[in-house]
Amino acid sequence: MSKHRILTTLGCALTAVLATAWSAAPPTRPAVTTVRIHDGLVRGAAHDGYRTFEGIPYAAPPVGRLRWAPPRPAAPWPGVRDATRPASACPQPAGEVPGGSTDEDCLHLNVTTPDDAGPARPRPVIVWLHGGGFTTGAGSSYDAHRMATRGDVVVVTVDYRLGALGFLAHSGLPGSGTFGLADQQAALRWVRTEIGAFGGDAHNVTPAGESAGGYSVCAQLAAPAAAGLFDRAIIESGPCTGRADRPFAPSSVPLSTARATGTDLAAKVGCRSAHDVLSCLRRVTVPRLLAAQDTDQQPAYATPLLPTDPAAAITADRFHHVPVLIGNNHDEGNGWAAGIIQAGNPVTADTWPDVVSAFFPSPGQAKAIVREYPVHPTTDGGPVFGAVIGDANFACPTARTDALLAAQVPTWRYEFADEHAPPLTSGTPPFPLGAPHASELPYLFDLGGRPRDLTAAQHRLADTMIDYWTRFARTTDPNGPSSPYWPRRTVLSLAPDHIAPTHTAEPRHHCAFWNTHG
C-alpha cells in the first residue's frame, strides 16, 4: 500500500471514530401518535413539544434483483406500521454505526415535527443528508428535535445506499455510480408527496448536509432529474468544487474511473470472469462486498443522473437556481492531521517535505506548499499540516463555490470558528484541534440522541445557528431580530464570543496561493 493510500485511509477513519459521540442513547417509551400517508398508517412517538416518526420506507428494499437498481416505490402495508424506533442503517463497516450494518433493506427516513404542526399552517421542511464519505453514516444519528422546535420546522433525515452498494459502476448497468444519489432524489420526491401529512410544507423544501451530505446537495444542484424537488439548499463542509486529487473532501469521478473500480471489485469477490458478472455480484454476501470495497467512494459523473461534474456544472451556470447557505469550519483539517500523527506519522521540519509529497506528488507543487506553509524546528507541525488539509480541501474550495453560486443566486456564507468546540472523539489529541471537520454538528443536532455537551455560551451560539439555518429555510433570508445581521457577500464568523460578518476569510486560509498552485 502506498504512503498516499495509508495516509488517506487514516484520514478517512476520522469519520469512523465519531461513533464515540454518535452511539445511540438508551431507548425510552414515549406516548404514540398516528399519521396516515399514501402507503398506510404510521405510528410515531409523541415527546415534549415534538413528534418523531422513524424508519418510514421511502422506496422498496434494494435486495435481490433490485441490488444496483434505481429505487422503486415502497409497497403499501396493512394495519399500522410502527415508527417509534429507527430502522437499520445502510450496509457499512463498523464505525459511526456500532458494529456496522449488513441490512440492505435500509431505504428509510425519519421525520421530526413540532407538536402543533399541521395542514392549517405547514412548516418549512429541511431534509438532512448525512455525511460519512459515502461509505458510513445514518440518518438516525441526528436527533433533530432542537432544530424542529426552536426553528419551527419539520426535519427529515435520510438513509441512502453507501459504498459499493450505492456507487458501483459497471458497463450495461443503468444507474451506474449514482444509486445513492438516486435514493436521495426518491426521498425528496417522497417529501413532496407525503410531508404534508406531518405538517410540512411540500412547497418549501431545503436539502441540507455536511461533508459527503453537503456534496450530495451539490450533486443534486447539478442533477437534471432533481429539478423541482427543492427550493433552497444548505451545504456544510462539502464544497461543490471538490476534486479527486484532494482526498479528504468529497468529490465525484468520471464514469470511466468508477467502472474501473467496479471491475476491480468484481475481481476481488471472484466475479470478474463469471458469465454474468452482475448476477454473480448480486449473489455476493454483504460482508464480503464491504470487505472488498475501496475505503474511498465517490459518485460518478458523465452519467444520466449526473451528466457533469458538479464543479463544472456550477462553473458553467448549469445548476438549479435556488438560494444557497454554504460554509466550512475554520480548522477543517486538524482532526485528520491529528489522527495521522497519532498513527505514527510525525510532522517535523525533517519529515514535512515527505508528508506533503505524499498528498501533492507534483514536485513543483509540493515544494511551493512547503514554502507557503513552513514547519520550523521549533514549530508544532500538526496545525500546519491541518491548515494545508483544510485550506486545500475545504476553505478555499468553499470560497470558490460561494463565488460561483453568488454570481447567479442569493448566497450566504459562514465559517464556524469555535476554537473550543467539544471534541467528537475520545482521547487527547497531539495538539488543540480548534474547530475541525464536523465540529459544528453538535450545535445543530443531538448526535446519537444524547444531549449536547456545550457551555452556556456555546448553547447560545447553537441557538443562533439554528435560527439562521431555519430562517433561511423559511424565507431565504437567515436574518432576524434575535441574531446579528448577516449581510450577503460577507463571511459570517460563528464563535461563542464573536458572531460577526467579515468581508473575506481567504487571507488566513492562503486561498490566493491555492488559486495559483491548485
In sequence order, the β-bridge partners of residue 301 are: 254
**CA distance to 106, 115, 176, 226, per residue, from 452 (Å):** 27, 22, 39, 34
- The answer to whether 142 and 157 have CB atoms below 8 angstroms apart is yes
- Name the helix (H) or strand (E) containing 404: helix 396-406
Residue of 175, 183, 121 lying closest to 152 (CA atoms): 121
- Name the helix (H) or strand (E) containing 500: strand 498-502
Cell of 80: 399500522
**CA distance to 12, 354, 377, 490, per residue, from 335 (Å):** 10, 20, 22, 27
Residue 96 CA, distance from chain mean position: 13
- The answer to whether 140 and 447 have CB atoms below 8 angstroms apart is no
CA dist., res. 100 & res. 139, Å (int): 14
Strands 80-82 and 123-129 come out as unpaired
- CB atoms under 10 Å from CB of 451, counted, come to 11
Most distant CA atoms of the chain, gap in Å: 70
Measured in Å, how far apart are the chain's first and last C-alpha atoms? 26
CA dist., res. 320 & res. 230, Å (int): 9
Phi and psi angles of residue 155, each rounded to the nearest 5 degrees, phi first: -115, 130
Residues in contact with 28: Cβ distance below 8 Å, sequence separation at least 6, in sequence order:
none
Residues in contact with 339: Cβ distance below 8 Å, sequence separation at least 6, in sequence order:
10, 11, 13, 14, 17
Q: Please identify every residue annotated as catalytic.
A: 211, 332, 437
Secondary structure E strands in 247-405: 253-254, 300-301, 324-329
DSSP codes of every residue in 206-226:
EEEEETHHHHHHHHHHH-GGG
CA dist., res. 266 & res. 254, Å (int): 19
CA dist., res. 342 & res. 489, Å (int): 39
- The answer to whether 32 and 43 have CB atoms below 8 angstroms apart is yes
